[in-house]
Amino acid sequence: MSKPSLPQQSMRSFARSLPMALLKARESVMVRFRPSLRAHGLTEQQWRVLRAMSAADQSLRPSELSGMTFISMPSLSRLLKTLEGRALITRGRHETDLRGAEFGLTPQGLAIVDEIAPESETIYAEIERTLGQDNLEQLYRVLDQVVQRLGTPDAADAGGE
């Protein structure tokens, strides 16, 4: 089968594709966290939800969780059902919108976050040793600038899982 001819004006090199570079970097980081999450029976997305809930000082509505975790609402709904079924989160009614639900960590959910936290910090320390503190801080600054200048998409726009 012959290769189709390239368009007149060629695209940038695949190796210089910013989305691909960011995905490759993400995978380089996440490969270090996955074994710990698997050992606790969690997916990356489930951990993202539990981590977001643990950082909040109140129960969160699904739309808030979706915005914090960049997980689309359909995927988030499935994740919330799974986490609720495992008794890691609890569903309640929103105090001003009785039709709306909000979610918070159960004691078991908080316990699993507390159990994973030191493992996670050990991995972060390894990443910092490997990259160097200055490089890691520079990376955070550059990523913050990207979001600040290009804007923060919502989970639906971001193609969240």
Residue spans per domain, the chain:
19-114
Range 21-32 average pLDDT: 96
Range 1-16 average pLDDT: 72
Condensed to tens digits (0 to 9), the pLDDT of residues 124-148 reads 999 999 999 999 999 999 999 999 9
What's residue 8's pLDDT? 57
pTM for the predicted model, two decimal places: 0.84
What's residue 79's pLDDT? 96
Mean pLDDT, the chain, rounded, equals 90
| Residue 96 CB partners (closer than 8 Å, separation 6+) | none
CATH number given to 19-114: 1.10.10.10
Range 59-77 average pLDDT: 93
CA distances from 81 to 46, 77, 78, 133, 149 (A): 11, 6, 5, 39, 35
